[in-house]
Copies of this chain bind each other. A is one copy, B any other.
Amino acid sequence: MANRRASITDLAKTLGLSPSTISRALSDHDDVSEATKARVRQLAEELHYQPNQLAAALRRGRSNTLGVLVPHITGHFFPQVVHGIATEAAKLGFNVMICQSNEDSRQEQKNIDLLMNSQVEGILVSLANTTHSFGHFEAVRQQNIPLVFFDRVVEDFSGSNVSAVMIDDYQGAYQVVTHLIEQGCTRIAHFTGPLHLNIHKNRHQGYRDALQAHGLPIDDELIMFCEMSQKGGTAAMRQLLKLPQRPDAVFSSNDLAAIGAIQAVKSARLRVPKDIAVVGFSNEMFTMLTEPMLSSVDQRCEQMGKTAVQLLQKMLKSGPNRQGPPKPIVLKPKLLVRESSQKR
């Protein structure tokens, strides 16, 4: 009962060797003859020997573990990113330790400490939206633990072992609006959330710039600051429909509000996309399920996770002594044109 698992010294004793030799044999070191290696390997097999990672990590100072800190593991985006992270990390031989900040800055801080105590080799973070000071990342930087921010990054926090990966929201929005213009739309409305959030700010800017670049006017009454929910979208759309000259397209800063807009359009006996084209942002799962199917912008969530891990790995391999911090990576979003915006 309660069978303690075989340790390296157990192997040593039963084979009449020293622990060092066992260790070297198992790691295929040159200083051990093939004969003994074979014996060791066979016994290890028989006893189902598995090295104690804790001990190894302690000795080597490397734990083979990455820490991940996200606001939460719900919704669409974060699970996808985490999936990308976990997959890539597994491929590179890392374990993954996961924490949630619950959008709370203090929990974020605690979790950062926790991860550092666990001797993780690198940390991947997406900030809680209540985080405004970054003292807790100072310790990470000081100890030269590679740190990668993803999606929700802190802009003015750099260091030789700090980097970031995010998506080009501006570019995504620009593509959307350009696409709508190509479909013949000229009065394109925009739903946006509060502009102090990066994502909305950048998408909003992309919207404006795309309009200008194509010589279209920017009409402030077409820009709706609304709650980015289904209801919010419906309400905003209703308001737009009351305008003397109604819009012929809507670019919503997220998919949920876009769905709301579609429903409002439909219940006003108008057609999507014929009368009003609609495009969302994020490529949520349900965009494929609506009628019409919603055009959206894919955020490459999984790719983001994968890239973040690769970036971390690069820092890990090159060490902190390189020329300048690694450049942040900006992923190109991908416009997915579906029924809701295809006038043809």
Contacts and interface: CB of A to CB of B under 8 A. Distances in A.
Given A73-B86, A289-B290, A144 B2 contact: yes
A59 B134 CA distance: 33
A113 B50 contact: yes
Interface stretch (A90-98, A270-278, A306-314): A90-98
A69 to B, nearest CB: 11
A70 to B, nearest CB: 9
A51 B1 CA distance: 32
A189 interface: no
Interface string A135-148: 00001001110000
Contact of A73 (B48, B75, B79, B117): B79
Majority SS at the chain A contact face: mixed
A230 B289 contact: yes
Nearest to A119: B54
Contact of A53 (B1, B3, B74, B118): B118
Nearest to A302: B74
A249 to B, nearest CB: 21
A224 to B, nearest CB: 20
B100 A86 contact: yes
A213 to B, nearest CB: 33
